[in-house]
Structure 1
Amino acid sequence: MPAESPTSTPPFFSRGDRIAVLLPLPLAGAYDYLCGTEALHPGDFVAVPLGARQAIGVVWGAGRGDVAAAKLKPVAARLAARPMSRVTRDFVDWVASYTMAPAGAVLKMAMSVPAALEPAAGLTALRLGAVPPDLKLTAARKKVLDLMAGMPPLAAADLAREAGVGVSVVKGLADLGALATVELPRPSLFAVPDLSLTRAELSDSQRLAADTLVAAVAGGFSVSVIDGVTGSGKTEVYFEAVAACLAAGRQVLVLLPEIALSAQWLERFKRRFGVVPAEWHSDLGDARRRETWRAVASGEAQVVVGARSALFLPYRELGLMVVDEEHDQAFKQEEGVSYHARDMAVVRARLGEIPLVLASATPSLETMANVQGGRYRLLHLPDRHAGASMPEIVAVDLRRDPPPRGRWLSPILVAALEETFAAGEQAMLYLNRRGYAPLTLCRGCGHRLQCPNCTAWLVEHRSAGRLICHHCGYHIRQPRKCPGCEAEDSFVACGPGVERVAEEAALLFPDIRMAVMTSDTCAGPQAAAEFVRAVSAHEIDLLVGTQIVAKGYHFPMLTAVGVVDADMGLEGGDLRAGERTHQLLSQVSGRAGRAERPGRVFLQTYQPDHPVMQALRSGERDGFIAREAELRRSCAMPPYGRLAALILSGPDVAQLEGFAAKLSRAAPHGGGVEVLGPAPAPMALLRGKHRRRFLIKVPRTVNIQATLRQWLTRVPAVAGVRVQVDIDPYSFF
């Protein structure tokens, strides 16, 4: 096969050649077609017949040859869009192979905006044309023609407004030839970053880290880890590498775990570079997605900040990637193609031979294992920016200082809030539980209100007047009668959610200004930006929120943080429970005292002697990580072993269990392979589908994908049962 080159002569594929076209569908591989009259190259977007319709796909290479040429159909047309690069195609293949997802399903993520493959609609305007000598000049027409005599081309609506006439008058003159249509260049959507603006003053340790990253920009593939305490200026440090990459004429991608985090990040970027970068996330409208996709492909969008899906955009010349808050679980995609954006970013950087920066105040154990193994470079920022001190962390032992009955805030925390508000400062209360109460039960018979579609209790959202399932969205009004005993008005809320904590705070501090920040109240970047603005402007005294408030915000007047239930997340079968709790509480604690005012953090706990609480109080993070690593190593668990999950789901529980039993009998054994299950998943019913799980554990020397493929081929698939593979699972619901 000739070498791939868009300028090769003769063409890479010419008329009658057999080619492979990958379609963005959950198919095992590419389909063979014949090259038509138009020459084609790998990466070209093409329209091809698929049954009774046409589909858009990508030329993936030479055809396989397993179908007779007489049965092949020719490509219908080549699209004018810029071809998909070799790096992106290799990335699609790698992700598909690693995650065991159909290559077409991965391609769909790289073709997430099919409409962007069509040429952008041109912009037209009107100028003075050849006025017919017999044109009947009305007063309105004369206004338009007189105005256009000294004006540049204008859009029809703008011309009508300026002349004070109706649009129909303008269109009539255009139809008669008195006004001529001209094509206008499309305005640039994304301004060029200004690299000459004043940079932040960096400390010695920050400058050393920044210089290392700048040098890496020109050095090919590398992975650098910025390990800095909360408030240490990690963003300003990697901005130096961003500037170096832009100066070299290449694009930059910054991945953030939550769009809610982007408000302050975008403001920092604008202060540093004078412009707002391209954004990529699920809240973009269709038109903006098309425009952004095209701008990334053309290179007009020089910096992209986005969620994990931004990995699959069609970068023209990507030169640097940054994964901020690399430890965050939001980088793991659970639905569809299961992948971890941090890990796939490493692969994308290696394929593109570019540097990658991972930044976190609490790096994941996986990342630190790669640092210790010499695969990643560590850059340490031990101090907070501008001399701010780390907050004092106090463990409030709820066994000794419990809240009053029916309350959730201990006397110690309440007293600290009183002191904070009296000093004119701000406070935050954190509880990672949305709604008013996680459980509603009948005080007469104990009946619990449960979702009919999921193994989950209905969560009361008192502000919305609903009981809601957080997994499938099912919701009802609270019934007047108990379905179990038919007692009236017998339901009682059990346990606190953030709404209930906010209700208690309002009773204790009726004069303060308070806001609740959750994914319910902060739906989208604009709402998040307004929350950030209000807190920064000190229009809010007390912020009550879920995990969303722990995401890297900088509020100089926020000096007290109360964690209502610090023990949440410590129990259960999650191998990362301790690590995640430590990361999350460290991030929450890091919101306090980030400027000249010292901060205090109060962890309400029934386990003050737990290793996580001790590590937080002492600041001995490295010792905690070392103990977690040793525990994982002794059990050969990730990152010192490999895990994969098989999740079986279907509407017929008998059929599901029968298929699970067949898989169990065919399960691999020996060579260090352990298969646990089948067992009902913790969420045994989800969105109306019953679920069973297998967990596969192997040494790192074993190819877990090959093991799974061999296993699954031994048992024929069953219609009605879905098998989802999750390599490197992060959740076990």
Structure 2
Amino acid sequence: MNRVRLLVFNAALGPLDYRVPAGMDVEPGSVVVAPLGPRQIVGIVWEADRLPAAEVPDARLRPLLEVLPVRPLAAPLRRLIEWTADYYCASLASVARMALSSGAALRGGGTLTEYRLTGQVPERMTPQRAAALDLLEGEQATIRELGEIAGVSEGVLRGMVNAGMLEPVVVDIDRPYPRAHADHFQPLLTEHQAQVAARFVACVKDSRFHPFLLDGVTGSGKTEVYFEAIAAALEADLQVLVLLPEIALTENFLARFSARFGAPPVVWHSSLKSTERRRAWRAIGRGEAQVVVGARSALFLPFARLGLIVVDEAHEVSFKQDDGVRYNARDVAVMRARFEGVPAILASATPAIESLQMAEAGVYEKLDLPARFGGAQLPAIETLDLTKDPPERGRWLAPPLVEKLKDRLEKGEQSLLFLNRRGYAPLTLCRHCGYRFQCPNCSAWLVEHRLSARLACHHCGHETPPPAQCPECGEPDCLVACGPGVERIADEVAEIMPTARVAVVTSDTLTSPEKAAQFVAEAEAGAIDVIVGTQLVTKGYHFPDLTLVGVVDADLGLEGGDLRAGERCFQQIAQVAGRAGRGTKPGEVLIQTRHPEAPVIAALAAGDRDAFYDAETEARREAGAPPFGRWAAIIVSSEDEAEARDAARAIGGAAPNLPDVAILGPAPAPLSLLRGRFRYRLLINARRSAEVQRVIREWLGPLRFPNGVRVAVDIDPYSFV
């Protein structure tokens, strides 16, 4: 092979051909360095017949410079990259970049100098050093990473090194991870669990593609069952990928995994330090990382011997990426399993309707766990009609729920209050002139956070301290918080029950896996009486003494323009209800609502999941919505409103007229300003048989827009804002 085609990480360039110098050994998948003008770029050698490019004479080809010391990307991963780019209308370059997500790992192993505290404390310390001392307790990392952890400059840390407060430690970049053992601990499964586990184990041993839908009620032991499949993969010296929807769930999972297999799995998520990412990426590529637990980006890691993929909480919306390459990790996981020729397990207590339909069609094999483990019973569910039994003025918890909370506190049992709204209040206004605090970058209100004393935008991250007076009329002490967030509910609980120990659990408070682990330890030790949280507490946690769940506002999930609102609301409330009564004590769930007759709420109260799914499925069928039709969105944005509007109208004006494709819009997006960009949307609703991706490419391909305009395509959208 003296001529190769390179996939480079610049979609505008397209594939480029290069000459292979004598003595250089390359193959499809090799990661190489090549010249581009005066620069050097990294690229992946690709099959020329799968990557069209302009023909360039051999004499004009420039030679490759270097083959990087990593295993070539295997053919199944290359096919996955091609499929993802094609299905989600993304560039090959942007998808391939996710496979080489640790640039430092490409340069090989070696040693690295990290630093840790020595325990020495000088008599005189600057405030910055004192703050760093507290934040760096138990940490070991490079100077740069320690600076990010402590929020101080590298100069401060180097001064601490010179003062003897930090000491260098030389570490091997490629040091091995502890080995997991399939037989470390053998759990006792019920007969039903053992039957399901045996089916998984047989499929892992067969080493063939087979997608499963594991449908088990909350507390039925789904994790223990798929752990048996992981054990079978470990015995066969195969690698396993487990996808979790939230980083906050990782620490809880790690503890369960370590208890079963004697060592923690390799972790992969965005909060890892760069040195940890480099070590993990290289171990995965060499086949030494046995089990990898990660967020959706772990799907594109270069596994050497992948033998099983598990998607836990497979219904979760967070598996859908809403920027960059807008892919759904649940679906891409099944496709990776198909290309690798391995089983895939989608586990959920509330599967997505799309997954249930695939099972009904025979594409997925559905296995059920209909009962809780150890004889625990599903909680009793009751609705509280807020129109008939409203909370006291200025409060948000109805009297019956308050009485239940007090009863649990007296018994020494735990309660959980669920409200999917972070902060103290979603809106702050001036009672004098009516001024409302809005984000300058987004068409959204600023949310008041009293724990951090900030007004914050949850879309762009803009923050500002609450002013002492109204910025519009200048009136002092006139700002009013409107509506409840979890912090406000926590304050109400503290007023009602002053002795209760209350924990607020949101992405603002559990900002790292370590903080999540601390919360779990405190809850399991009985150091928390009432948990007040967002959707972060709806899944994965097992607290035996938690016997009461209160849903503060069940109607919140039914608001807005989300076309899957009913299904999502059902899943969320069913999942949070599943936190109650997981031990020997019976559980109870109270759902506060103003619409107890709504199909979602009525189905939850009756415990009739099948009736809700049947009605929702029939409604989707009539509307031609997924899984019976296809959805796609086109999002147009620009910092100039007129430019965005004109581009959207140009797209709408060029829309094809096809019998099996309906195109709605353009119209301003519900969130018409986001991060300083004005946004317009078009929605495509097509029959299942329509080739939506081809239609979109042929439609948008000839159009040209100003440099400031971005046009994004979202196949199978979950967000409609």
Tell me whether the two structures share a fold, i.e. TM-score over 0.5: yes
Please name the residue that 1:35 is paired with: 20
- Find 1:371's aligned residue among 359, 367, 372: 359
Paired residues for 1:180-195 under 5 Å: 188-195=175-182
In the alignment, the residues of structure 2 paired with residue 417 and residue 520 of structure 1 have an alpha-carbon distance, to the nearest angstrom, of: 25
For the pair 1:77 / 2:91, whether they are aligned, the reply is no
For the pair 1:573 / 2:558, whether they are aligned, the reply is no
Please name the residue that 2:121 is paired with: none
In the alignment, the residues of structure 1 paired with residue 286 and residue 704 of structure 2 have an alpha-carbon distance, to the nearest angstrom, of: 45
Deviates more, 1:76-85 or 1:400-409: 76-85
Paired residues for 1:228-307 under 5 Å: 228-307=216-295
In the alignment, the residues of structure 1 paired with residue 69 and residue 215 of structure 2 have an alpha-carbon distance, to the nearest angstrom, of: 44
In the alignment, the residues of structure 1 paired with residue 25 and residue 173 of structure 2 have an alpha-carbon distance, to the nearest angstrom, of: 29
- Tell me, yes or no, if the aligned pair for 1:28 and 1:102 is still in contact at 8 Å: no
Amino acid at match of 2:469: K
Query: For 1:336-360, what per-residue CA distance to the aligned partner results, in whole angstroms no more than 9, with x for missing partners?
Result: 0000000000110111111000000
1:51: Cα distance to partner? 2.6
Please name the residue that 1:423 is paired with: 411
Please name the residue that 2:105 is paired with: 116
1:186: Cα distance to partner? 7.6
Please, what TM-score do these two structures have when normalized by structure 1? 0.88
1:407: Cα distance to partner? 0.3
1:481: Cα distance to partner? 3.0
- Find 2:42's aligned residue among 56, 61, 65: 56
1:488: Cα distance to partner? 2.4
Paired residues for 1:502-651 under 5 Å: 502-651=490-639
Amino acid at match of 1:61: E
For the pair 1:454 / 2:478, whether they are aligned, the reply is no
Deviates more, 1:48-57 or 1:330-339: 48-57
Please name the residue that 1:204 is paired with: 191
In the alignment, the residues of structure 1 paired with residue 563 and residue 275 of structure 2 have an alpha-carbon distance, to the nearest angstrom, of: 43
Please name the residue that 2:136 is paired with: none
- Tell me, yes or no, if the aligned pair for 1:28 and 1:103 is still in contact at 8 Å: no
SS in 2 for 1:283: coil
Paired residues for 1:318-333 under 5 Å: 318-333=306-321
Please name the residue that 2:453 is paired with: 465
In the alignment, the residues of structure 1 paired with residue 173 and residue 31 of structure 2 have an alpha-carbon distance, to the nearest angstrom, of: 23
SS in 1 for 2:47: strand
For the pair 1:25 / 2:16, whether they are aligned, the reply is no
1:184: Cα distance to partner? 11
In the alignment, the residues of structure 1 paired with residue 684 and residue 86 of structure 2 have an alpha-carbon distance, to the nearest angstrom, of: 18
Query: For 1:471-498, what per-residue CA distance to the aligned partner results, in whole angstroms no more than 9, with x for missing partners?
Result: 1111112223323333222110000011
Paired residues for 1:348-427 under 5 Å: 348-427=336-415
Query: For 1:268-315, what per-residue CA distance to the aligned partner results, in whole angstroms no more than 9, with x for missing partners?
Result: 111111010000001110111000001001111100000000001110
> For residues 28 and 575 of structure 1, do their structure 2 counterparts lie closer, same or farther at Cα, with a shift above 3 Å needed?
farther
Query: For 1:157-214, what per-residue CA distance to the aligned partner results, in whole angstroms no more than 9, with x for missing partners?
Result: xxxxxxxxxxxxxxxxxxxxxxxxxx99887431221122232211121111111111
- Tell me, yes or no, if the aligned pair for 2:14 and 2:53 is still in contact at 8 Å: no
For the pair 1:95 / 2:81, whether they are aligned, the reply is no
**Structure 2: stretches of 5+ with no match in the other structure:** 114-169
How many residues in Structure 1 have an aligned counterpart in Structure 2?
660
In the alignment, the residues of structure 1 paired with residue 79 and residue 185 of structure 2 have an alpha-carbon distance, to the nearest angstrom, of: 39
In the alignment, the residues of structure 1 paired with residue 705 and residue 25 of structure 2 have an alpha-carbon distance, to the nearest angstrom, of: 40
Query: For 1:659-718, what per-residue CA distance to the aligned partner results, in whole angstroms no more than 9, with x for missing partners?
Result: 111111110112211111100101100010000001011111011000001110232232
Please name the residue that 2:706 is paired with: 718
Please name the residue that 2:93 is paired with: 104
Paired residues for 1:108-187 under 5 Å: 108-122=97-111
- Tell me, yes or no, if the aligned pair for 2:269 and 2:294 is still in contact at 8 Å: yes
In the alignment, the residues of structure 2 paired with residue 76 and residue 42 of structure 1 have an alpha-carbon distance, to the nearest angstrom, of: 16
In the alignment, the residues of structure 1 paired with residue 182 and residue 290 of structure 2 have an alpha-carbon distance, to the nearest angstrom, of: 12
In the alignment, the residues of structure 1 paired with residue 452 and residue 53 of structure 2 have an alpha-carbon distance, to the nearest angstrom, of: 57
In the alignment, the residues of structure 1 paired with residue 272 and residue 307 of structure 2 have an alpha-carbon distance, to the nearest angstrom, of: 25
1:464: Cα distance to partner? 1.1
Amino acid at match of 2:31: F
In the alignment, the residues of structure 1 paired with residue 112 and residue 13 of structure 2 have an alpha-carbon distance, to the nearest angstrom, of: 41
Query: For 1:54-91, what per-residue CA distance to the aligned partner results, in whole angstroms no more than 9, with x for missing partners?
Result: 11111112384523334321111111211111111111
SS in 1 for 2:558: coil
SS in 2 for 1:218: helix
- Tell me, yes or no, if the aligned pair for 2:183 and 2:231 is still in contact at 8 Å: no
- Tell me, yes or no, if the aligned pair for 1:28 and 1:104 is still in contact at 8 Å: no
- Tell me, yes or no, if the aligned pair for 1:260 and 1:524 is still in contact at 8 Å: yes
Please name the residue that 1:478 is paired with: 466
Please, what TM-score do these two structures have when normalized by structure 2? 0.90
Please name the residue that 1:174 is paired with: none
> For residues 553 and 123 of structure 1, do their structure 2 counterparts lie closer, same or farther at Cα, with a shift above 3 Å needed?
closer
Amino acid at match of 2:630: R
In the alignment, the residues of structure 2 paired with residue 481 and residue 613 of structure 1 have an alpha-carbon distance, to the nearest angstrom, of: 42
- Tell me, yes or no, if the aligned pair for 1:96 and 1:102 is still in contact at 8 Å: yes
SS in 1 for 2:556: coil
Amino acid at match of 1:206: Q
- Percent identity, please: 51
In the alignment, the residues of structure 2 paired with residue 476 and residue 262 of structure 1 have an alpha-carbon distance, to the nearest angstrom, of: 32
In the alignment, the residues of structure 1 paired with residue 709 and residue 571 of structure 2 have an alpha-carbon distance, to the nearest angstrom, of: 37
In the alignment, the residues of structure 2 paired with residue 354 and residue 492 of structure 1 have an alpha-carbon distance, to the nearest angstrom, of: 57
- Tell me, yes or no, if the aligned pair for 1:27 and 1:102 is still in contact at 8 Å: no
Amino acid at match of 1:115: A
In the alignment, the residues of structure 1 paired with residue 13 and residue 421 of structure 2 have an alpha-carbon distance, to the nearest angstrom, of: 40
Amino acid at match of 1:58: I
In the alignment, the residues of structure 1 paired with residue 342 and residue 13 of structure 2 have an alpha-carbon distance, to the nearest angstrom, of: 30
In the alignment, the residues of structure 1 paired with residue 174 and residue 314 of structure 2 have an alpha-carbon distance, to the nearest angstrom, of: 35
For the pair 1:652 / 2:640, whether they are aligned, the reply is yes
SS in 1 for 2:704: coil
In the alignment, the residues of structure 2 paired with residue 720 and residue 26 of structure 1 have an alpha-carbon distance, to the nearest angstrom, of: 17
SS in 1 for 2:572: helix
Deviates more, 1:425-434 or 1:261-270: 261-270
In the alignment, the residues of structure 1 paired with residue 230 and residue 610 of structure 2 have an alpha-carbon distance, to the nearest angstrom, of: 29
In the alignment, the residues of structure 1 paired with residue 283 and residue 397 of structure 2 have an alpha-carbon distance, to the nearest angstrom, of: 50
- Tell me, yes or no, if the aligned pair for 1:27 and 1:103 is still in contact at 8 Å: no
1:644: Cα distance to partner? 0.6
1:614: Cα distance to partner? 1.1
In the alignment, the residues of structure 2 paired with residue 583 and residue 31 of structure 1 have an alpha-carbon distance, to the nearest angstrom, of: 47
In the alignment, the residues of structure 2 paired with residue 109 and residue 54 of structure 1 have an alpha-carbon distance, to the nearest angstrom, of: 20
In the alignment, the residues of structure 1 paired with residue 112 and residue 692 of structure 2 have an alpha-carbon distance, to the nearest angstrom, of: 53
> For residues 264 and 123 of structure 1, do their structure 2 counterparts lie closer, same or farther at Cα, with a shift above 3 Å needed?
closer
In the alignment, the residues of structure 2 paired with residue 282 and residue 25 of structure 1 have an alpha-carbon distance, to the nearest angstrom, of: 23
Max Rg structure: 1
Query: For 1:448-471, what per-residue CA distance to the aligned partner results, in whole angstroms no more than 9, with x for missing partners?
Result: 110011010000011111111111
SS in 2 for 1:720: coil
Please name the residue that 1:343 is paired with: 331
Amino acid at match of 1:540: I
